[in-house]
Amino acid sequence: MNALNLLKKDHASVKTLFSRFDRTGKTDLEKRNDLLAQIRREVQIHSRAEEEIFYPALKALNGEGRKLVSQALNDHKEIEDLLTQISRLKLTAKNFDDRFESLIESVDHHIEEEEGEIFRFAEENCSDQQLEDLGRQIQERKQILDRQLAA
């Protein structure tokens, strides 16, 4: 699968998990905890695969790629920090909802930037074959990361 399509699929999956979390009643702590764990896992696997495979490929292309990747890495750091903060809070904590809303906003912003500028850059600077190869590598890496997190 083309790397851009694969990453878009990941983005849609995380957005769906956010939506399911929002629709889950505040008193259903078990389901909310399960969804939160799924969100964290999906985001971690996706981010690591991007950081290890997709971003280095773009960074190697030219100066614009470096700038775009640098911003995306900053976004990843912000999102990871928010996930860490959230994981330390109880679902019933006063500031949980605010932190979770910040996470959704940060992820949405990152997706918008990535699917806009970064994907456009990739389409303009990578061949179809390169995007297919990157997609295969990302998929393989995600499977390895998934197994490692499950262990």
CATH number, domain at 31? 1.20.120.520
- Quote the tokens at residue 140: 């393989």
Instruction: Name the domain count of the chain.
Output: 1
pLDDT recorded at residue 64: 87
Task: Give Cβ neighbours of residue 59 (< 8 Å, ≥ 6 apart).
Answer: 65, 66, 69
Helix axes of 3-23 and 96-113: crossing angle, nearest 10 degrees: 160
pLDDT recorded at residue 61: 87
- Region 9-25 average pLDDT: 96
- Quote the tokens at residue 50: 């991007």
pLDDT recorded at residue 151: 73
Contact 65, 120 (CB under 8 A): no
- Quote the tokens at residue 75: 């976004």
Encode pLDDT of 31-75 as tens digits.
999 999 999 999 999 999 999 999 999 999 877 899 999 999 999
Amino acid of residue 121: F
Q: Which domain holds residue 63?
A: 3-150
Contact 110, 75 (CB under 8 A): yes
pLDDT beyond 80 at 129: yes
Amino acid of residue 149: L
Encode pLDDT of 91-127 as tens digits.
999 999 999 999 999 999 999 999 999 999 999 999 9
- Quote the tokens at residue 35: 């969804």
Rounded Cα–Cα distance for residues 143 and 101 (Å): 29
